[in-house]
Amino acid sequence: MFYYLFDYLHKRFDLPGAGVFHYISFRAAMALIVSLLISMVFGKRIINLLHRKQVGETVRDLGLQGQLEKKGTPTMGGLIILSAILIPSLLFTRLDNVYIVLMLISTVWLGAIGFIDDYIKVFKKDKKGLQGKFKVLGQVGIGLIVGITLYCNSHVVVKEKLKRSVSVEAVYGTQQISTLPVYSQEETKSMTTTIPFVKNNELDYSSWLSFLGAGYKKWAWLIFIPVVIIIVTAVSNGANITDGIDGLATGTSAIIGVVLGILAYVSGNTVFADYLNIMYIPNSGELVVYIAAFVGACIGFLWYNSFPAQVFMGDTGSLALGGIIAVFAIAIRKELLIPILCGIFLVENLSVMMQVGYFKRMKKKFGVEYARENRLFKMAPLHHHYQKLGMHESKIVFRFMIIGIMLAALTIVTLKLR
């Protein structure tokens, strides 16, 4: 919004300083600042509103230290995060950018799913919330929208470096004809993505369908769209599972957001993309402004969500955070880096799957009592396992965040480590 206003003032009246809004770095900084202010200043008002509406957390006694003390703490604090993302994004991004439109739709869509889930839990007094099948259906729905848009929209292209040889005539005593390699960039509608740790690290999803013969590339959507749906669903649920103790999901998401911002900036900048030998994605640099608002929202929310939490984000926030990360990574063709970058989410997800699978196996083999007494983890997800071991919440959060920073650094290193 401000971009168009100041662009008009710059062109029409040559207003001094108005041209600064053309710079992504300036608008990203402003989005970060405004996001922090919204989450920190207006966050308190939203918390007070949730108190008045008696939107309190229902806590089951699972034998965890300090758990019962959290009973009544306001939930649905994800409304703070969503506001702090959407408002700066609307103010400082270019709204004619397909990637920005896609991120805004994803944010609202996933936030709405989480809100419905929290609403049923709090106001309908149904602890189960929204049925799992409807939650997954909603995630599949946004996955379809993202996949179809990225596949069909004419503005979603990459610039590939093409190598060709040209004949050069040189005279050194006698006439000689030699060939030299010449590189050029050409915009193409391609379903390529980045593979970490591999030289010439690009994978075209359509290559898996080469057995179909000539014209196989037109069937790339058969691979691409299901991959998008799986990634969005998995990462969204991973963030949801990670949101179990004060500040864990929020802090981890902020770290991931910073790395995604760096990856979006280098992918959308022709100079850095050429230097790092990665695919250049036109118009993707605008996503840096959006992710700056995302990081600001997460850090600002920590003001109230760090131990002891004054508010919980609920599914309103956690489902949206995970989905945003997934869609963003797919948009900048870095989705195969998610297992590294979102390693905390992955481990938390796996811990639940392993716990359930191990319990079922032991139950079938030795009976239910044996299975209960000999669990793989003391409790899943993994952060609750460490709580059961007597570790304080704050220590768990900080150690997980340190691991998250290490994974973030490794993700950035993949740009050169091949």
Write the pLDDT tens digit of every residue in 161-180: 655 555 555 444 455 555 55
Torsion of CA 19, 23, 26, 28, to 10 degrees: 140
Give CA–CA dist 286/294, Å, rounded: 13
pLDDT tens digits, one per residue of 339-348: 999 999 999 9
CA distance 234 to 225: 14
pLDDT value at position 161? Answer: 62
Q: Please give the average per-residue pLDDT across 83-94, as a whole number.
A: 96
Sequence-distant (≥ 6) Cβ neighbours of residue 326 within 8 angstroms: 231, 232, 234, 235, 236, 335, 338
Mean pLDDT value across residues 75-99:
94
Determine which of 115-119, 208-212, 285-289, 320-324 has the lowest per-residue pLDDT on average: 208-212
State residue 164's pLDDT score. Answer: 52
Query: Quick one: pLDDT at residue 68?
Result: 63
CA 335 to centroid of chain Cα atoms? 9
Beta bridge partners of 161: 185
Q: Quick one: average pLDDT of 181-195? A: 72
Q: What is the rounded (10 degree) CA torsion for 288, 290, 295, 296?
A: 120
Q: Is pLDDT of 238 > 80?
A: yes
Q: How confident is the model at residue 199 (pLDDT cuts 50, 70, 90)?
A: confident
Q: Residue 192: its pLDDT value, please?
A: 87
Judged by phi (left if over 0) then psi (alpha if -120 to 50, else beta), residue 391 lies in beta
Which pTM was predicted?
Answer: 0.91
Ranges 85-89, 99-103, 199-203, 358-362: which has the least confidence: 199-203
Average pLDDT value for the chain: 88
Q: What count of Cα atoms within 13 Å lies in the side-chain half-sphere of residue 253?
A: 37
* Domain extent listing, the chain: 2-156+219-413
* Per-residue model confidence (pLDDT) at position 179: 57
**pLDDT at site 394:** 92
